[in-house]
Structure 1
Amino acid sequence: MKRRDALKNIGLSLGYAAVAPSALSILQGCTTEAEKWVPQLLSIDEGIIVKNLVDLILPKTEASPGALEVNVPEFIDLLAFKSYNEEDKNKFIKGIKAIVLELTVDKDPEFQISKLTTEEYDAILAKYLKSKPEDRKDFNKEQKLTFGALAGLRGQSVWAYKTTEQIGENVLAYRPVPGSQNGCIDVNETTDGKAWSLQA
């Protein structure tokens, strides 16, 4: 099975209707200039917010590139634009707008999204993604929507990140030609503790 076909199957198994070829091309080695990115489904401000959140969810480290370096925000936007039906698009946008509202609720109407600080982004991630199940029971309707949107964004970001060729081949344990299956072995001995990449 070719890598592109395998990625499409993974997309289907995760509930995505299809992974559009143009969305996949963003992940597979093409480099978009971040400052020139124009979102297809999101607004410019929503794109800024998604980029900053994704950067905190999967930041650059000494050992691996960050999500921004492998075009994860661009992929998430284009995937939704190309492959979501209208109902799913509306649900996706509604969740992103809930995040925007949470981040700007106390701001002046003329406030610019680009002025939001890293601390503000970090605070919303901590408030929702580090919340305990018992605390979520007290969330109001908007807070539940925000939590769902942030959890979904995190899940999409991790999936897209691990699906990139750069991460799959250079960060995760990668074996282009699968060998024999060995059960009950220590992952630390086999891959130095790395998760397996999707095999081609």
Structure 2
Amino acid sequence: MNRRDVLKGLGLSLGYAIATPGIMSMLQSCKTEASLWVPKLLSIDEGIVITNLIDLILPKTDATPGALDVNVPEFLDLYAFKTYDEKRKKTFKKGINGIMKALNINEDNSVAALKTEDYDALLAKYLKASKEQQELYRQEEDKENKDVILFNALSNLRSSSIWAYKNSELIGEQVLAYDPIPGLQIGCGTIEETSGGKAWSL
């Protein structure tokens, strides 16, 4: 097995990707205007839904760009389309389908009718559940259980979004602590002394 296969397998087993140069270039290539983005793996409606969920997970603030500013939804769709095998694509789509059902999107209820409160309530129910409840979701043996599917889909969406966000060029260079030519090693310094209290960009 070659190094690329090992890294890819490790990334999939952890639920997110290892930041290899190829993946990073894919992330930096996602620069489509949000209104013009056409998903590769997801449907248009599914793309709208994950965009709105990701915007709530990592919103823009006065101090930092949001996930939509670095095209996280476009990247996650493209990454799944290009790198997931058929089994993983099926699992990914199953989770997104569960989210669509939970938001009651069907022929009678379009995505356009949803409000921010609808997305927020869904995220709160699963991602802000008590630690005990989240552990029950993780330990549930019935993987077809609707709540388990939703918890896993939303948890994976959140962790993947955070990973993609932190590895984007804009965030790495302008939000996180960034040193293009590291050289000075401060062994016993505090995080405030070494990076101004910020996490280091990789």
TM-score where L is the length of structure 1: 0.84
Q: Which stretches in structure 1 are left out of the alignment for 5+ residues? A: 1-7
Matched residue, 1:195: 199
Letter of the 2:80 counterpart: A
Q: CA deviation at 1:109?
A: 3.7
Distance 1:12 1:58, change over 3 A: farther
Is 1:26–1:74's contact at 8 Å kept on the other side of the alignment?
Answer: no
Count residues with an aligned counterpart: 188
Letter of the 1:53 counterpart: L
Letter of the 1:142 counterpart: K
Alpha-carbon distance between aligned partners in 2 of 1:12 and 1:177, rounded to the nearest angstrom: 30
Q: How does 1:115-126 map to 2 (within 5 A)?
A: 115-126=113-124
TM-score where L is the length of structure 2: 0.83
Q: Which stretches in structure 2 are left out of the alignment for 5+ residues? A: none
Q: CA deviation at 1:66?
A: 0.6
Q: How does 1:48-197 map to 2 (within 5 A)?
A: 48-104=48-104, 109-136=107-134, 137=136, 141-197=145-201
Is 1:20–1:79's contact at 8 Å kept on the other side of the alignment?
Answer: no
Alpha-carbon distance between aligned partners in 2 of 1:151 and 1:46, rounded to the nearest angstrom: 17
What do residues 110-129 of structure 1 show as CA deviations (whole Å, max 9, x unaligned)?
A: 11112211011011111100
Q: CA deviation at 1:46?
A: 0.6
Matched residue, 1:40: 40
What do residues 117-162 of structure 1 show as CA deviations (whole Å, max 9, x unaligned)?
A: 1011011111100111322437881101100000000000000000
Alpha-carbon distance between aligned partners in 2 of 1:17 and 1:174, rounded to the nearest angstrom: 20
Is 1:29–1:165's contact at 8 Å kept on the other side of the alignment?
Answer: no
Distance 1:184 1:145, change over 3 A: farther
Q: CA deviation at 1:12?
A: 6.0
Larger RCO of the pair (alpha carbons < 8 Å, separation 6+): 1
Letter of the 2:149 counterpart: L
Q: CA deviation at 1:182?
A: 2.7
Alpha-carbon distance between aligned partners in 2 of 1:9 and 1:170, rounded to the nearest angstrom: 31
Alpha-carbon distance between aligned partners in 2 of 1:103 and 1:20, rounded to the nearest angstrom: 36
Q: CA deviation at 1:190?
A: 1.7
Letter of the 1:161 counterpart: Y
SS in 2 for 1:38: coil
Alpha-carbon distance between aligned partners in 2 of 1:124 and 1:197, rounded to the nearest angstrom: 31
